[in-house]
């Protein structure tokens, strides 16, 4: 039987003694959220313990701590990246989507150093990606002109002559012709846009060019990843088997 320490020690050292494993293995168990101190999960190997009860959870296994990618349904009015009302503040354990089927365990480290990729403007809502994974960052940044994004745009006004055709092909933005895109009516007041390399302000500019006023913009898909039924303000993990 391993006796409790007589002076504070690092949690990793204590776990290594209890489990009879290497210090590095002990750190992996801790960083993976498999160690509790007095019943609470502690993820910091340097955490100091003395007489507390330290336990390794029964289903613990060794695995390298992978970076997390989080999909958020950004509500209207939140800043995607920096600003006075950051959407990042919405990502907490309590706001995780109840139907998240990724199978991933929520860990404190998943909420640190998240970067917004393909951000949305504050006056738009919908799917936004936050990631710790440089591979996801590179993929969505370098392939932005090849990854299709889908938006639902609520509009008012009367569509000008040949308006739908002009939206699909023939408009310019910031002095450059826009490539062909897919535009269709979803109902009497909503248009569905599917386009690549979309720029901030582009959709509003396009609608104004055909005499339509934008009431609301919502992004519902990036590549093959869709927003689904996730409510505004909630998030889910992107598991390894889902690809953009």
> Tokens 């919908």 label which residue?
126
Q: Is residue 207 part of a domain?
A: yes
Kindly state whether residues 186 and 81 are assigned to the same domain: yes
> What's the start-to-end Cα distance of the chain, in Å?
50
CB-side exposure of 123: number of CA atoms within 13 Å? 10
Q: With 80 as the cut, is the pLDDT of residue 129 above it?
A: yes
Kindly state whether residues 46 and 78 are assigned to the same domain: no
Q: With 70 as the cut, is the pLDDT of residue 3 above it?
A: no
Kindly state whether residues 31 and 142 are assigned to the same domain: no
Kindly state whether residues 169 and 191 are assigned to the same domain: yes
Q: With 80 as the cut, is the pLDDT of residue 24 above it?
A: yes
CATH classification of the domain holding 35: 3.10.290.10
CATH classification of the domain holding 136: 3.30.2350.10
pLDDT in tens, 167-208: 999 899 999 999 999 999 999 999 999 999 999 999 999 999
Q: Is residue 61 part of a domain?
A: no
Q: What is the CA radius of gyration of the chain?
A: 24
Kindly state whether residues 77 and 48 are assigned to the same domain: no
Q: Is residue 229 part of a domain?
A: yes
pLDDT of residue 66: 82
Q: Is residue 1 part of a domain?
A: no
CB-side exposure of 91: number of CA atoms within 13 Å? 30
pLDDT of residue 232: 97
Look at the chain and report how many structural domains it folds into.
2
Q: Is residue 4 part of a domain?
A: no
* Residue 216, C-beta contacts closer than 8 angstroms, at least 6 positions apart: 76, 124, 125, 153, 154
Kindly state whether residues 127 and 176 are assigned to the same domain: yes
- Report the share of the chain in percent with pLDDT over 90: 68
Kindly state whether residues 104 and 184 are assigned to the same domain: yes
Q: Is residue 244 part of a domain?
A: no
Mean pLDDT of 213-233: 97
Bridge-partner residues for 117, per DSSP? 129
> Could you tell me how far CA 202 lies from the centroid of its own chain?
23
Mean pLDDT of 158-164: 87
Kindly state whether residues 143 and 217 are assigned to the same domain: yes
Kindly state whether residues 150 and 171 are assigned to the same domain: yes
Owning domain of residue 121:
69-237
Q: Residue 172's closest CA among 202, 204, 133?
A: 202
pLDDT of residue 2: 59
DSSP-derived secondary structure for the chain: -PPPPSS-EEHHHHHHHHHT--HHHHHHHHHTT-EEETTEE---TT-EESSS-EEE-TT------PPPEEEEEEPTT-BSSSSSSBGGGG-SGGGB-TT--S-PPP-GGGGSS-EEESPPPTT-EEEEEEES-HHHHHHHHHTTTTSEEEEEEEEESPPPTTHHHHHHTT-EETTEEPPP-EEEESSSSEEEEEEES--TTHHHHHHHHTT-EEEEEEEEEETTEE-TTPPTT-EEE--TT---
Kindly state whether residues 30 and 123 are assigned to the same domain: no
> Tokens 């590549």 label which residue?
223
Joined together, the tokens standing for residue 79 give 């800043």
Q: Is residue 3 part of a domain?
A: no
- pTM of the model as a whole: 0.83
Q: Is residue 33 part of a domain?
A: yes
Kindly state whether residues 109 and 142 are assigned to the same domain: yes
Kindly state whether residues 29 and 120 are assigned to the same domain: no
Integer angstrom CA distances of residue 136 from 72, 131, 163, 239: 15, 7, 36, 12
- Report the share of the chain in percent with pLDDT over 70: 98
Averaged pLDDT score across all residues of the chain: 91
């Amino acid at each position: 039987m391993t006796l409790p320490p007589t002076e504070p020690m690092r949690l990793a050292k204590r776990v290594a003694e209890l489990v009879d494993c290497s210090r590095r293995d002990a750190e992996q168990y801790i960083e993976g959220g498999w160690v509790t101190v007095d019943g609470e999960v502690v993820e910091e190997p340097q955490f100091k313990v003395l007489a507390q009860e330290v336990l390794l959870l029964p289903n613990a296994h060794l695995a390298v701590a992978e970076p997390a990618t989080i999909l958020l349904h950004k509500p209207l009015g939140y800043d995607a990246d920096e600003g006075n009302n950051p959407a990042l503040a919405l990502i907490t354990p309590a706001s995780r989507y109840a139907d998240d089927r990724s199978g991933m365990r929520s860990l404190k480290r998943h909420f640190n150093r998240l970067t917004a990729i393909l951000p949305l403007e504050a006056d738009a809502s919908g799917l936004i990606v936050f990631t710790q994974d440089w591979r996801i960052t590179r993929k969505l940044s370098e392939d932005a002109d090849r990854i299709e994004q889908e938006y639902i745009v609520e509009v008012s006004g009367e569509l000008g002559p040949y308006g739908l055709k002009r939206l699909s092909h023939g408009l310019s933005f910031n002095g450059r012709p826009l490539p062909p895109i897919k535009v269709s009516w979803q109902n009497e007041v909503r248009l569905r846009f599917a386009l690549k390399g979309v720029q901030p302000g582009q959709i509003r500019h396009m609608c104004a060019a055909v005499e339509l006023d934008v009431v609301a913009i919502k992004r519902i898909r990036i590549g093959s990843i869709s927003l689904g039924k996730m409510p505004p303000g909630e998030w889910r993990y992107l598991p390894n088997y889902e690809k953009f």
